[in-house]
């Protein structure tokens, strides 16, 4: 890592902020410095592109214009506002934090990064963004853009996949950040990282900070930032059960914790839970792998044993539905359920939902994919 003199730091600040004043992105949450607006936008922007976020942000502000209204909103309406953004724990933490602000802080925002981190779902980056943009605190907001920009500017070769590396970048940026315009400085870094110094196909030749980009000047820009690869998402196979009855479908409400907490989906059964029966010699095949018909029979028995459902099963034509989360990749084989008798739902975590109500229910993306296959 190279170190800049104070003269270089001063020149970099001036160059960066002059460019930002002329070319900074015009985004709806930048039209004031309201901490509520900064907060909602930053949480939405996690794992999501700016162009995708804009309409969500504008609708969210129409539905929940103040932190007080967010705190008291019904969860179903909050989830509907968030539908399609994914990572739904973000939305639940928004409401938890809103309730903290109303109840514990009497509606007043903490104005320091340390104070903001006491709120649910606010980590070091979001705290730095709110503190600098809304309250002019000279603290860094270290996200993927900041890692990439400063790794290239200063040839920092610390592995950004390691949690302890954040401290290195925070110390470096704290020395460089503009004490007079910290919020604009952090937002300029965001814009720089999204344009001239993007992860793929950067255009450093025309970058406003070209002369400060040591990795580019040395011809090694593609080597920064240093980041070890994450493990691939674990594959998990499911059966997705399509259970119609007239204009209704039997839907399952997911548990209150874990992936897709409290969302409605078609009933999902892990294939591993069904196939464990083959270990007991329950199939007649001499092969190690059960046949498709044997698997369907095992699933039929599973549904009878667990829920008391008496059914026949028919595969839905087409390829399985796939959906990737951060740590898991789901592959869902859809099966049409034919009732042999009206089910008793005493042991089933769900209920019949009429298709006319589907547009009022917040669905996770994976359910949208399943419905797109069968709901025509």
Same domain? For 239 and 216 the reply is no
Give domain status of residue 229, yes or no.
no
Report the range of poorest mean pLDDT among 84-88, 201-205, 275-279. 275-279
The CATH number assigned to the domain holding 339 equals: 3.90.79.10
The CATH number assigned to the domain holding 138 equals: 1.10.340.30
Q: Is the pLDDT of residue 102 over 50?
A: yes
Per the structure, the complete domain to which residue 360 belongs is given by 234-280+288-375
Positions marked catalytic: 42
Give domain status of residue 228, yes or no.
no
Give 16-67 pLDDT, tens digit per residue: 999 999 999 999 999 999 999 999 999 999 989 999 999 999 999 999 999 9
Same domain? For 99 and 239 the reply is no
Same domain? For 213 and 270 the reply is no
* Amino acid 283: pLDDT: 44
Give domain status of residue 157, yes or no.
yes
Give 235-282 pLDDT, tens digit per residue: 999 999 999 988 899 999 988 888 898 899 999 999 999 987 545 444
> What pairs with residue 253 in β-bridges?
264
Give domain status of residue 323, yes or no.
yes
Q: Is the pLDDT of residue 329 over 70?
A: yes
pTM given for the model: 0.80
Give domain status of residue 56, yes or no.
yes
Give domain status of residue 1, yes or no.
no
Give 140-164 pLDDT, tens digit per residue: 999 999 999 999 999 999 999 999 9
User: Cβ distance 146 to 173 under 8 Å?
Assistant: yes
Mean pLDDT over residues 332-346, rounded? 92
Same domain? For 240 and 185 the reply is no
Same domain? For 164 and 91 the reply is yes
Count the domains in the chain: 2
Same domain? For 90 and 62 the reply is yes
Q: Is the pLDDT of residue 69 over 50?
A: yes
Same domain? For 119 and 262 the reply is no
Domain boundary among 174, 190, 223: 223
* Amino acid 357: pLDDT: 87
Same domain? For 101 and 208 the reply is yes
Secondary structure of 253-321 in the HEC alphabet?
Answer: ECCCCCCCCCCEECCEEEHHHHHHHHHHCCCCCCCCCCCHHHHHHHHHHHHHHHHCCCEEEEECCCCCE
Q: Is the pLDDT of residue 210 over 50?
A: yes
Which position has the token pair 């890692």?
A: 147
> What pairs with residue 357 in β-bridges?
none
Mean pLDDT over residues 371-376, rounded? 81
């Amino acid at each position: 890592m190279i170190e800049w003199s104070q003269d270089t730091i001063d020149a970099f600040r001036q160059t960066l902020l002059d460019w930002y004043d002329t070319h900074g992105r015009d985004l709806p949450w930048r039209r004031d410095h309201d901490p509520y607006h900064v907060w909602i936008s930053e949480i939405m922007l996690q794992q999501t592109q700016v162009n995708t976020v804009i309409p969500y942000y504008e609708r969210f502000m129409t539905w929940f214009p103040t932190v007080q209204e967010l705190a008291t909103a019904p969860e179903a309406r909050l989830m509907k506002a968030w539908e399609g953004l994914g990572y739904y724990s973000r939305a639940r933490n928004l409401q938890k934090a809103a309730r903290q602000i109303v109840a514990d802080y009497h509606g007043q925002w903490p104005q320091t990064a340390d104070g903001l981190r006491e709120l649910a779902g606010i980590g070091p980056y979001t705290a730095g963004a709110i503190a600098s943009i809304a309250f002019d605190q000279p603290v860094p907001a270290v996200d993927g853009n900041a890692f990439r920009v400063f790794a290239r500017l200063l040839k920092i070769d610390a592995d950004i996949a390691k949690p302890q590396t954040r401290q290195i970048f925070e110390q470096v940026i704290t020395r460089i950040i503009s004490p007079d315009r910290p919020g604009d400085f952090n937002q300029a870094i965001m814009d720089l990282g999204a344009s001239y110094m993007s992860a793929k196909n950067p255009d450093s030749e025309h970058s406003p900070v070209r002369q400060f980009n040591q990795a580019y000047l040395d011809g090694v820009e593609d080597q920064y930032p240093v980041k070890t690869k994450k493990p691939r998402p674990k594959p998990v196979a499911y059966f997705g059960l399509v259970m119609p009855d007239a204009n209704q479908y039997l839907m399952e409400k997911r548990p209150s914790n874990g992936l897709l907490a409290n969302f409605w989906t078609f009933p999902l059964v892990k294939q591993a839970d069904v196939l464990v029966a083959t270990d007991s010699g329950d199939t007649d095949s001499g092969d190690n792998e059960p046949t498709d018909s044997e698997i369907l029979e095992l699933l039929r028995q599973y549904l009878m044993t667990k829920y008391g459902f008496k059914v026949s099963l028919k595969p839905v034509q087409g390829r399985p539905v796939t959906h990737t989360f951060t740590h898991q990749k789901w592959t869902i084989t859809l099966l049409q359920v034919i009732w042999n008798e009206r089910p008793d739902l005493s042991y089933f975590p769900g209920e019949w939902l009429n298709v006319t109500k589907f547009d009022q229910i917040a669905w996770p993306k994976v359910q949208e994919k399943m419905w797109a296959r069968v709901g025509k």
